[in-house]
């Protein structure tokens, strides 16, 4: 459709450990980020597969407990301020894990 404005999104990815995924996603939601994408090597159960929309990636035996949490910010939002809030939150969470 001509003249239709498409929303552009910027993707940001946090490298973490699988044990911290849920708390990071929860913290992102508290900051107003409504969705996140998780990539890890933890196998999904059949029930989880039936309840989610997921891309099943090939297994990578080298990754261990490594995980990635990605989130998207709409182009034009005050990205700098939001990313600073994310950094502050991650720094405080990091203290809990050390």
How many domains is the chain partitioned into structurally?
1
In a domain, 27, yes or no: yes
Q: Give per-residue pLDDT as tens, 4-59.
A: 678 888 999 999 999 999 999 999 999 999 889 999 888 878 887 787 765 655 55
In a domain, 2, yes or no: no
Give the pLDDT confidence score for residue 90 in this predicted structure: 94
Give the pLDDT confidence score for residue 65 in this predicted structure: 85
- 3-state SS track over 48-67: HHHHCCCCCCCCCCCCCCEE
In a domain, 4, yes or no: no
């Amino acid at each position: 459709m001509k003249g239709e404005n498409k929303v552009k999104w910027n993707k940001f990815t946090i490298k973490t450990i699988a044990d911290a995924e849920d708390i990071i996603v929860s913290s992102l939601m508290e900051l107003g980020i409504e969705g996140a994408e998780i990539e890890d090597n933890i196998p999904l159960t059949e029930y989880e597969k039936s309840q989610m929309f997921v891309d099943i990636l090939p297994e990578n035996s080298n990754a261990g407990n490594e995980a990635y949490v990605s989130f998207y910010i709409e182009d034009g939002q005050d990205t700098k301020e939001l990313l600073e809030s994310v950094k502050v939150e991650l720094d405080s969470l990091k203290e809990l894990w050390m």
